[in-house]
Amino acid sequence: TGCGNTVNGNHPVVRDFILHCLRYWVLDLRVDGFRFDLATILARGRDGELLANPPVIEQIADDPVLRGVKIIAEAWDAAGAYQVGSFPNARWSEWNGKYRDDVRDFWRGAATLSTFATRLCGSPDLYDRPRQTPLKSVNYIASHDGFTIADLVSYAEKHNLANCEDNRDGDNHNHSDNCGTEGPTDDPAIRARRLRRQKNLMATLFLSQGVPMLLGGDEFGRTQQGNNNAYCQDNEISWMDWSLAETNAELLRFFRGIIRFRAENPGLRRKTFFRGDGPDGPDLAWRGPDGGPPRWEDGANTLACLLHPRENAGTAVFMIFNATADPVAFRLPEGGWRKRVDTGAEAPLDYAEGDNAPEVREEILMAPRSLGVLTRGEG
């Protein structure tokens, strides 16, 4: 496993023991679901070989007691197997590590538009196949392993010296960006850039198809001081500092707003993949800043998309992503729009409720490295 020896999960005795434990947790303790750490070890046989149809994985999926609970795989192990998009059972959801890396990269200018758009749509390249839906993908930006989101925008390198392993432990591939200086700073421009980047990342998460997963504390800027492997630190590095909810109240307010926006718009929680067509227009239409098709392959970092009102209970949603270092004007589709989200604006104008949102027509100027969302009702 990379974490010490493991047992053969597909041995009949071990398999029965695993199923017995899971049933006990569901029936007696009323557990609603399970996330399996390094779940790919359950796909290995007696000699460590990967099995095409691992018995224990299939039994967990089909067990009558477990059939109604959530089952989520961390679809890799530390021995080199990576099964995101290919975990061997349709019933299991997957932590989408590719979503994490590609969204991080887009906002630091290192991912292509087409890759970012694919992640926004629920990763159909990985999951659009028989018996699968966008809900297969558990999307996240940060988890208990690696940087918190606040550290993701504050550190270009890991800082694990407190772990007493000479900074050798922890992942070296963090897809992070310190926004201009390493670690804490009093520079107001860098602090503003970091705050905007956090809003961009979290807004992207809650605008994406699939199941969003939020690391506790990211909603108010929790930091591990650049440590990306803090499991061994029982101190201020790993503790939850609840006072940050007051210190970073602007960030917390924005997070609450974007979560509420997702809850109010069923088109962001689809159970089918977009098909790009429809009797009265495409379900999702991609646009560039000029209102025409995006420039997919020429290095542009600007993108917009229109969610058709029929997909969202009669409300059209127009999403704008500007990952460039320059302000960009975006032409809006016809009609009157209300600006619900603008990470380039200072609070409280970064998020607005429906009738309180400012009206916009024809064009909107998006600040550098910012995200916007507009809505338009249909009668």
**200-233 pLDDT tens trace:** 999 999 999 999 999 999 999 999 999 999 999 9
87-97 pLDDT, tens digit each? 999 999 999 99
pLDDT of residue 16 exceeding 60, the answer is yes
pLDDT of residue 350 exceeding 80, the answer is yes
Q: Averaged over 155-173, what is the pLDDT?
A: 96
Between the alpha carbon of residue 33 and those of residues 60, 93, 119, 341, the distances in Å are 12, 11, 25, 33
Query: Worst-scoring range by mean pLDDT, 159-173, 179-193, 269-283, 363-377?
Result: 269-283
- 7 SS3 class: coil
**What distance in Å separates the CA atoms of residue 30 and residue 28, rounded to the nearest whole number?**
6
pLDDT band at 346; cut points 50, 70, 90: very high
275-331 pLDDT, tens digit each? 988 778 899 999 999 999 999 987 889 999 999 999 999 999 999 999 999 999 999
Between the alpha carbon of residue 319 and those of residues 42, 103, 246, 335, 343, the distances in Å are 40, 15, 29, 15, 12
Q: How many CB atoms within 10 Å of residue 235?
A: 8
Catalytic residues: 37, 74
Question: If DSSP states are collapsed to H, E and C, what string results for 64-113?
Answer: CCCCCCEEEECCECCCCCECCCCCCCCCCEEECHHHHHHHHHHHCCCCCH
47-87 pLDDT, tens digit each? 989 999 999 999 999 999 999 999 999 999 988 899 999 99
Q: Averaged over 20-28, what is the pLDDT?
A: 98
Q: DSSP assignment, residue 232?
A: G
Q: Which residues of 129-147 are buried (b: 16+ CB within 10 A; e: fewer)?
A: eeebbbebbbbbbbbeebb
141-160 pLDDT, tens digit each? 999 999 999 999 999 999 99
Indicate the pairing of strand 302-307 with strand 315-322: antiparallel
Between the alpha carbon of residue 166 and those of residues 148, 158, 170, 173, 226, the distances in Å are 21, 11, 11, 17, 14
Evaluated on CA atoms 149, 154, 157, 163, the torsion sign reads negative
Predicted local confidence at residue 7, as pLDDT: 87
Instruction: Look over the chain and give the mean of its residue pLDDT values, rounded to a whole number.
Output: 95
What DSSP line would sit under 155-213, residue for residue? -SS---GGGSSTT-SS-S------TTSSS----HHHHHHHHHHHHHHHHHHHHSSSEEE
In angstroms, what is the C-alpha Rg of the chain?
22
Predicted local confidence at residue 5, as pLDDT: 79
Q: DSSP assignment, residue 239?
A: S
Q: Averaged over 248-257, what is the pLDDT?
A: 98
Cα–chain center distance at 207: 9
pLDDT of residue 3 exceeding 80, the answer is no
pLDDT of residue 379 exceeding 50, the answer is no
pLDDT band at 378; cut points 50, 70, 90: low
Cα–chain center distance at 67: 26
The residues, ordered by sequence, that sit 6+ positions from 269 with a Cβ below 8 Å of its Cβ are: 209, 262
